Amino acid sequence: MRNRNRLLSSSCLLGVLLTTACDAPSPPTPASPPAQPPVAEAPRTDTPATDVPATDTPTPPAGDVGSTDAPLTVSNCRVLATATASASGDDGAGSVAANALDDNLSTRWSGPGKGAWLTLDLGSSQTLAGAAIAWHQGNQRQNHFTLSTSEDGTTYSQAYAADSALTTAAQTYRFTGTRKARYLRVTVNGNTVNDWASITEARVCGEDTTVPTPPTTDSGPALPRQPYLQSVGTTSALVAFRTGVSCTPFVRYGEGSDISRTATATAAGWQHAVKLSGLLPGRTYSYVVEACGSVTGVRRFQTATGPETTRVHFTAMGDFGTGGSLQAQVLKLLGQPSRAGEFLLTLGDNAYSSGTDAEFQSNMFKPMAALLRQVPLFPSPGNHEYVTNKGQPYLDNFYLPANNPSKSERYYSFDWGPVHFVSLDSNCPFGYTLPDCSLSLEKTWLAQDLAATTRPWKIVFFHHPLWSSGEHGSSTAMRREFAPILEQYGVDVVLTGHDHNYERSKPMKGNAVAASGTRGIPYLVVGSGGATLRTFPGSQPSWTAYRNNTHVGYLDVVVDGGTLTTKFIDSGGTVRDTLTLKKTLPAAAPQTSNVSALSKDTAPQGPTYDPNEQPAFLGQKPVPPADTPESVADAPEPAHGFVREQQ
């Protein structure tokens, strides 16, 4: 997505689920503020009566977390023994700092004023991983707080900043990483009811070496959008999702079945893309999302392989985002992990009929949720995405490499094993005025990008076909502007969509079939992913090797050493067409490297949603499936100069 600012606000975690900190520690906080004079909490006169409920007296009401003398129960925290507790002040009615350590939920510490603090002294420097806190009347008040650590009790460094969840249960807050310290301070900057700090029990958490058991099923409130994998490279990956509550979620992950590592969202909000870093090429990783009381069952994905790997298996399809019956037929087959390959390319028209956010949700992310949780997705935009605000919802819903000079996610490249992939935007060069995407910008970047790669295979994918005998025909504008570059830099295969059928050309060069003994490029139209199929308006031209408008399906591609094989597989699992290309690769294999094209991009950013205001997408109603010819019909595109050639 395009660069946008993000806001840091609240962290929301229900029950006893674990929450983690922001990625980087904040600047050191000032030395301890002077203690304020004790003031009884209930009789205050500086706030309206409605701001001080009767239950704010030292005796809590029945049913409150403070109404029982049961001991504290914490989760996901190896509790460290605390020597003493001190505070900036108390209510003068017995709610002193020591109450936060007495393992009695009927007592509490209460301190007046914003900035009131409670400090736990471990007695010696130890390795700290976080804190567990049970908040007084936590089901009624959301507390604004920070956690800071100190070695000497004078200089404190902030380790965590968040809001508590509305729950009476103890909440565990873990830092990103661990830190050495003797003191942990909880500073409370008021709550949603008043300016008091009130903590029933508090504990310091030490480093936990236990390996958590991955949950096998989802639990808690269902996420409005399940996780989907974006910008997966050799050393990092993004896990994107939406939450029904504004919070700062995190992802547990690790190699194989391990999920002991943690990555945290950079800000509170409703839409997230959490970066998993420190990965290794070609390895299988497990991950679990924990967000706002929701926990997703474990899923697995594979990172991109490096240039030393000679084999890759992936799939591709276009014109699929209907949410309808034909899409369901393709997904039933493609949804099997063994068939989907290491990742999926999409060739445009991801969300019919206008590429709105609601259509992305109903016609793409919902029906494809199970697939996208395990298979990384690399899309390209179609003409239907451009119907709404020149494709802005497309940019808002994907987190793609921004590795072109304009930092535009409309077109990008990435490496996977022996193949260099390029996704072009075939919309913006013709009929649109955009600062981050124009014909000259995209052509210049494409030539430079293809010239720079050292991968032995090159595959380019986009929406509008250079060669097609389908309803639209060939885009002469795309062929005129881009075919010379594709030919000059030795592109092996071009994948497109737009026409709702499957068609493979013979190797083409210029405006004709490549002469015998010369190198040409086969162009494949795979617009058969789920939209209503269309009839061919004329007989099969001489330059077409195979075409099919009676079966929906997808393209299966395997590159193995010097052989590239594509198979068009219909929804019943039958292989309808096969293409095999061979080339002689260099005798010496490339040097092992953990670097891919993705490592050179600008970190994609999501759209700005006020973390304190529910976004419009949570109120969206489901969109009816685009399951008719009318619902997937195309507006005229004269700038492409479509022609149907018979040769």
Residue 237, pLDDT score: 97
pLDDT band at 544 (very low <50, low <70, confident <90, very high): very high
Q: Return the structure tokens found at 589.
A: 């294999």
Cis preceding linkage at 571, omega within 30: no
pLDDT 10s digits, 74-108: 877 889 999 999 999 999 999 999 999 999 999 99
The full 3-state SS of 179-215, as one line of letters, equals EEEEEEEEEEEEECCCCCEEEEEEEEEECCCCCCCCC
pLDDT band at 37 (very low <50, low <70, confident <90, very high): very low
Higher pLDDT, 563 or 600: 563
- Largest Cα span, the chain: 96
- Between 45-54, 68-77, 178-187, the lowest mean confidence (pLDDT) is in 45-54
Higher pLDDT, 381 or 67: 381
Cα of first residue to Cα of last residue in the chain, in angstroms, is 42
CA distance 350 to 527: 11
pLDDT 10s digits, 176-211: 778 999 999 999 999 999 999 999 999 999 987 666
- Report the Cα 145 to chain-centroid distance in Å: 27
Residue 414, pLDDT score: 97
Higher pLDDT, 19 or 219: 219
Phi, psi of 65, deg, nearest 5:
-60, -25
* Positions of E strands within 34-115: 78-80, 84-87, 109-111
Do residues 235 and 277 make contact, with C-beta atoms less than 8 angstroms apart?
yes
Q: What is the mean pLDDT of the chain?
A: 87
Q: Return the structure tokens found at 501.
A: 């059928």
pLDDT 10s digits, 439-477: 999 999 999 999 999 999 999 999 999 999 999 999 999
Do residues 566 and 534 make contact, with C-beta atoms less than 8 angstroms apart?
no
Residue 638, pLDDT score: 87
- Report the Cα 228 to chain-centroid distance in Å: 6
Q: Return the structure tokens found at 140.
A: 């009624």
- Under DSSP, the state recorded for 364 is I
Of the candidates 267, 390, 325, the one whose C-alpha atom is nearest the C-alpha of residue 529 is 325
User: How large is the C-alpha radius of gyration of the chain?
Assistant: 29
Residue 593, pLDDT score: 47
Higher pLDDT, 42 or 197: 197
Do residues 177 and 99 make contact, with C-beta atoms less than 8 angstroms apart?
no
Residue 48, pLDDT score: 33
Residue 448, pLDDT score: 97
pLDDT band at 32 (very low <50, low <70, confident <90, very high): very low
Dihedral sign of CA atoms 235, 238, 239, 243 in order: positive
CA distance 528 to 538: 19
Do residues 510 and 647 make contact, with C-beta atoms less than 8 angstroms apart?
no
Residue 609, pLDDT score: 84
pLDDT band at 597 (very low <50, low <70, confident <90, very high): low
Residue 53, pLDDT score: 35
- Indicate whether 59 pLDDT > 70: no
Residue 203, pLDDT score: 97
pLDDT 10s digits, 114-134: 999 999 999 999 999 999 999
pLDDT band at 631 (very low <50, low <70, confident <90, very high): very high
Question: How many percent of the chain have pLDDT more than 90?
Answer: 75
Do residues 443 and 482 make contact, with C-beta atoms less than 8 angstroms apart?
yes
Residue 293, pLDDT score: 87
CA distance 192 to 141: 5
- Region 207-229 average pLDDT: 88
- Region 231-238 average pLDDT: 96
Cβ atoms within 10 A of the Cβ of 646, count? Answer: 10
* Positions of E strands within 10-62: 18-20, 28-29
Residue 600, pLDDT score: 52
Q: Can you give the pTM of this predicted structure?
A: 0.74
Bridge partners, 250 (sequence order): 264, 290
Cβ contacts of residue 84 below 8 Å, gap of 6+? Answer: 98, 120, 121, 123
- Region 530-539 average pLDDT: 97
pLDDT band at 647 (very low <50, low <70, confident <90, very high): low
Question: How many percent of the chain have pLDDT more than 70?
Answer: 86
- Between 164-173, 303-312, 422-431, 504-513, the lowest mean confidence (pLDDT) is in 164-173
Do residues 564 and 558 make contact, with C-beta atoms less than 8 angstroms apart?
yes
pLDDT band at 70 (very low <50, low <70, confident <90, very high): low
- Under DSSP, the state recorded for 415 is E
Residue 69, pLDDT score: 56
- Between 61-75, 225-239, 254-268, 555-569, the lowest mean confidence (pLDDT) is in 61-75
- Between 42-51, 267-276, 330-339, the lowest mean confidence (pLDDT) is in 42-51
Residue 281, pLDDT score: 97
* Rounded alpha-carbon distances, angstroms, from residue 421 to 17, 495, 583: 40, 11, 18
pLDDT band at 599 (very low <50, low <70, confident <90, very high): very low
